[in-house]
């Protein structure tokens, strides 16, 4: 993201040494490192949450597509029960006619 080379880091170190002073520089460096670590951790957590949310949205879209496909399939082909009911009634009628004979 930031193109910072070694020479820039040395320059920042020297300027901070002059401005802050050698006594307070280690404490300031620790505090700065702590906050940089916290910021990096927060950024990582946000990335994970966004990734999880995108994955969940993909799953919702797939489920929605599957439901719409199932609905279309149900419209094109009548349900199996509605086809079996007349057939089972016809078979029962034939069995009753055969038993009467």
| Report field, pTM of the whole predicted structure over 0.85 | no
The residue with greater pLDDT, 93 or 34, is 34
- The confidence score (pLDDT) of residue 48 equals 95
Q: Is it the case that residue 16 has pLDDT exceeding 80?
A: yes
DSSP assignments along 13-78, one per residue:
HHHHHHHH-TTTHHHHHHHHHHHHHHHHHHHHHHHHHHHHHHHHHHHHHHHHHHHHHHHHHHHHS-
**Residue 85: which pLDDT band, with cuts at 50, 70 and 90?**
low
- The confidence score (pLDDT) of residue 98 equals 67
């Amino acid at each position: 993201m930031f193109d910072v080379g070694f020479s820039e880091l040395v320059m920042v170190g020297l300027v901070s040494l002059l401005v802050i002073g050698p006594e307070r520089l280690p404490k300031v460096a620790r505090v700065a490192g702590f906050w940089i670590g916290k910021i990096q951790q927060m950024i990582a957590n946000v990335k994970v949450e966004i990734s999880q949310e995108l994955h969940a949205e993909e799953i919702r879209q797939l489920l929605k597509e599957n439901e719409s496909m199932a609905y279309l399939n149900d419209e094109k082909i009548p349900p199996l029960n509605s086809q079996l009911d007349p057939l089972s009634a016809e078979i029962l009628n034939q069995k009753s006619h055969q038993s009467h004979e």
